[in-house]
Amino acid sequence: SQQGEEDPQALSIQEGENATMNCSYKTSINNLQWYRQNSGRGLVHLILIRSNEREKHSGRLRVTLDTSKKSSSLLITASRAADTASYFCATDPLLSGGYNKLIFGAGTRLAVHP
Amino acid sequence: DGGITQSPKYLFRKEGQNVTLSCEQNLNHDAMYWYRQDPGQGLRLIYYSQIVNDFQKGDIAEGYSVSREKKESFPLTVTSAQKNPTAFYLCASSPGPYTGELFFGEGSRLTVL
């Protein structure tokens, strides 16, 4: 059951530019998380935002959450070639009972060119 | 170094054969998970375990089996009943319920010949 959908599917930018990725979901959530995956590797957790939070920052990352629109955005500022990866949003549905049964979207493939 | 170790990284299997993927963690986490990832898609939950000797089916459990005899270990068997087993398999763990973040291994890529 895919809950999150990322937009765009792919994004190509130059170093130094900002990258914005969006995520929409369908059901009420406990929290929403963003993960990064380098090609052929495991996922790495970036940031978690709870349903009662609207914005969160971590280094060059800024995440917003709009529960009324069931959407979130991830902004990477001053991007670097090393940011090239796929980025996934994952939701923890309210009815999951707190078991961290995250539901992942299909991801956004980000390419940052030197 | 604490972390999650998956093995093997690459595995080839003939049709009709069962294969077991290993997942070991030394993070002292209670919960462990298996996800499947197909090209260009997100992760789908196969099985999860919140405590030793207990596990639950995820969204796509058919054709898979697991065991949780030790806190550190959560092996996944892909059986011959799984009709399309070629995929990238990811194991994850978390400290327990309501803790949010998942910690992932590096994955195992299974190819059926």
Per the structure block, which two tokens stand in for A24? 């929409």
Residue A2 has pLDDT above 60, yes or no: no
Q: Which residues of chain B does A107 touch, with a Cβ-Cβ cutoff of 8 Å?
A: 41-42
What whole-number percentage of chain A has pLDDT above 90? 86
CB contact under 8 A, A99 and B50: yes
Structure confidence at residue A41 (pLDDT): 95
Q: Band of the pLDDT at B98, cuts 50, 70, 90?
A: confident
Contacts of B88 in chain A (CB under 8 A): 40
How far is residue B49's CA from residue B25's CA, in Å, rounded to a whole number?
A: 13
CB-CB neighbors (< 8 A) of A92 in chain B: 100
Please determine, for residue B104, whether its predicted confidence score (pLDDT) is greater than 70.
Answer: yes
Supply A107's token pair.
């991801």
CA distance A76 to A98: 29
**Is any Cβ of chain A less than 8 angstroms from the Cβ of B98?**
yes
Rounded average pLDDT over A21-45: 95
Share of chain B above pLDDT 90, in %: 81
A34: pLDDT strictly greater than 50:
yes
For residues B49 and B58, is the Cβ–Cβ distance under 8 A? no
Q: Which two tokens stand for residue A4?
A: 């999150």
User: What is the residue-averaged pLDDT of chain B?
Assistant: 93
List, as ranges, residues 24-43 from B with C-beta within 8 Å of A: 31, 33, 35, 40-43
Which residue's structure tokens are 């595995």?
A: B11
Q: Is A83 helix (H, G, I), strand (E, B) or coil?
A: helix
pLDDT, average across residues B55-79: 96
Residue with tokens 């929290």: A31
Identify the contact set of chain A against chain B, taking CB-CB distances under 8 A: 1-2, 4, 30-31, 33, 35, 40-45, 48, 88, 90, 92, 97-107
- Write the burial class of residue B96 (CB in 10 Å: 0-12 exposed, 13-18 middle, 19+ buried): middle
Percent of chain A exceeding pLDDT 70 equals 96
Give yes or no for residue A1 having a pLDDT over 60. Answer: no
What's the 3-state SS for B44-89? EEEEEEEECCEEEECCCCCCEEECCCECCECCEEECCCCCCCCEEE
Q: At A112, which amino acid appears?
A: V
- pLDDT value of residue B53: 94
Which chain B residue is nearest to residue A5, measuring alpha carbons? B42
Mean pLDDT of B87-97: 92
Contact A88 B42 (CB under 8 A): yes
Query: B59 and chain A: CB distance < 8 Å anywhere?
Result: yes
Q: Find the angle CA(B1)-CA(A31)-CA(A18) to the nearest 5 degrees.
A: 80
Quick check: A11 pLDDT over 70?
yes
- Average pLDDT over every residue of A38-63: 96
From CA A13, how far away is CA A105, in angstroms rounded?
22
pLDDT at position A110 over 60: yes
Q: For the segment B51-66, what is each residue's pLDDT rounded down to a tens digit?
A: 999 999 999 999 999 9
- Confidence class for position B113, pLDDT limits 50, 70, 90: confident
For residue A3, the model assigns a pLDDT of 61
- CA–CA gap between residue B33 and residue B49 (Å, rounded): 6
Half-sphere exposure of A31 (CA within 13 A, CB side): 20
| Average pLDDT score over chain A | 93
